[in-house]
Amino acid sequence: MILLLKTFQIVLIVLFVIAIALVVGLYFLSRHLQKKQAEQEAAIESAKQTVSMLIIDKKRMKMKDAGLPQIVIDSTPKLLRGSKVPVVKAKVGPQIMTLIADEKIFDQIPVKKEVKASVAGIYITGVKGLRGSLNTPATEQKKKGLGALMDRLREKAGAKPLK
């Protein structure tokens, strides 16, 4: 018996099979990438050292403009060379170095202060305050919500903020 399907039904079946194949492919790709990331994290943990440094400057800039060593730029995939990375200029011992910070801790790094940082090669993975805490003015002033907005507006108007 010959099964006759309309063209629309055949197209839907083909699209459904393609969608299932994409989901399965993405699942296996994500598992592979998770394993690769876990290996990289383990390598970073094994190479980590604690160093005291004076942070001179920090900013997000393109990798090719950051002043990193040429071997680092060459080993980076071409698509990522134009992306912005968190770059920290720091005085480590007698020399000034350009380092790349982890995205999670970049906002915690204080400028013009001495810190103890966990460093793996040119990658900063953690920061602790050497003398005192790491309270930077940007993190102290960050309040969220409507209450913070109202307090700032009252300050501009000259009234006391409500507490």
CA 97/CA 154 separation, integer angstroms? 44
Q: How far is CA 154 from each of CA 126, 130, 131, 146, 157, rounded to the nearest angstrom? A: 38, 37, 35, 12, 5
Chain-centre distance for alpha carbon 140: 21
Q: In this structure, is residue 161 part of a structural domain? A: no
* Residues in contact with 36: Cβ distance below 8 Å, sequence separation at least 6, in sequence order: none
pTM (global) more than 0.95 = no
**What is the number of structural domains in the chain?**
2
Asked if residue 70 belongs to a domain, the reply is yes
The Cα 28–Cα 77 span in angstroms is 22
Q: List pLDDT tens digits, range 70-119.
A: 888 888 888 888 889 999 999 998 999 999 998 889 988 999 989 999 99
Q: Give residue-wise pLDDT tens across range 5-64.
A: 688 888 899 999 999 999 999 999 999 999 999 998 898 888 899 999 999 999 999 888
Whether 3 has a pLDDT exceeding 80, the answer reads no
**Do 87 and 57 reside in the same domain of the chain?**
yes
13 domain-assigned: yes
Task: Determine the pLDDT at residue 140.
Answer: 46
How high is the pLDDT of residue 163? 56
Q: Which domain holds residue 73?
A: 49-132
Higher pLDDT, 157 or 48: 48
